[in-house]
Amino acid sequence: MERDRTPIEARGGIVSGRIIRILLISTAAAAIGLALVWLVIR
């Protein structure tokens, strides 16, 4: 049987998921931006 989560634990999971998603999106955006800059400079 699973232990009930407290509201703080549940909120922590939501926040960490949001942070991971932001990191992934920003990493992808940086890679795309670098590729575009490389194409322009080349």
- Compute CA distances 2 → 5, 7, 10, 16, whole Å: 9, 15, 14, 21
Determine the pLDDT at residue 5: 67
> pLDDT of 2-41, one tens digit each?
667 677 777 777 778 889 999 999 999 999 999 999 999 9
Is-above-0.85 flag for pTM? no
Query: Apex CA 5: angle with CA 14 and CA 2, to 5°?
Result: 120
pLDDT recorded at residue 17: 85
Question: Please, what is the Cα angle at 39 between 37 and 42, to 5 degrees?
Answer: 105
The pLDDT value given to residue 1:
56
Query: What is the per-residue pLDDT for 41?
Result: 94
Q: How high is the pLDDT of residue 16?
A: 84
Q: What is the pLDDT of residue 8?
A: 74
